[in-house]
Structure 1
Amino acid sequence: MNQRIIATIGALLIGTAIISGCGSEKPPEDTSLKVRTITIGEESGTTDAGYAGTIHNKTETNLAFQIGGRIINKFVNVGDVVQAGQVIAQINGSDTSAQLQNAEGAVKAAQSAYELAETNAKRYRELYAQP
């Protein structure tokens, strides 16, 4: 009797699977949007428009020079477009000339001190090497 119940349940399961597989499903509906297209071409005539207004910059950059001094010549004005590396002002070089001379003097003094130290080191080596 158990085999009969198992066979009946198996037949019911197979029948249910066959019936559900043979069902007629509706095809999915087309949900795409319908649009109308047009071709764009050139028109004769002009379509210039003029507007009045004020333009403000988004960022502002403060300028700083690498050396101090008095500006003796400027090459651009407010509102001019500048490029990277473009000279925008000339600074009086008399202060920097004096600084350069001071630096050159300091270099010569350092060279003299180095030469004196080398001479002393050589002399001490010779004295140390003597018996």
Structure 2
Amino acid sequence: MQVQDEAKPYDTINVTPMLDLAYVLLVVFILMTTASVQGLSMSLPKPSNKPSTEKHELRIIQITTEGRTLINGVAVSMEELESQLKQAKAKDKDVQAMIKGDGKAQYARVIAVVDLCNRLEVNMGLVTARIGV
């Protein structure tokens, strides 16, 4: 019985680890490029410790579950909402609008109201409620 001391050289390269690395890099690249979500740009107010002494008109805009739009409790169409906000903006350039969307309302209606306020340059805020309260 003879033992060969000579190691036979490999004539092929194992590419499996290199392919694994390439697939991992490809998945990471795909995830990172699709992770950049585009959305609305909003400038949120910064809190201050001083109480505000200025009083401005406040409009409360509600979007109900059925998709109706209410301004200060009165049902309006989007055109009427736009004209009322324009009139309020003409009276007081710093008029404020609080947007309250029902939890089951169509999100597109809320975004339409936000877009309208952005277009008319009306200061706005989103009304939220605590969960479980």
Normalising TM by the smaller chain, what interval?
A: under 0.3
Provide TM-score, normalisation by structure 1: 0.22
Identify the structure with bigger relative contact order (alpha carbons < 8 Å, sequence gap 6+): 2
More helix by share: 1
Structure showing greater Rg:
1
Larger relative strand fraction: 2
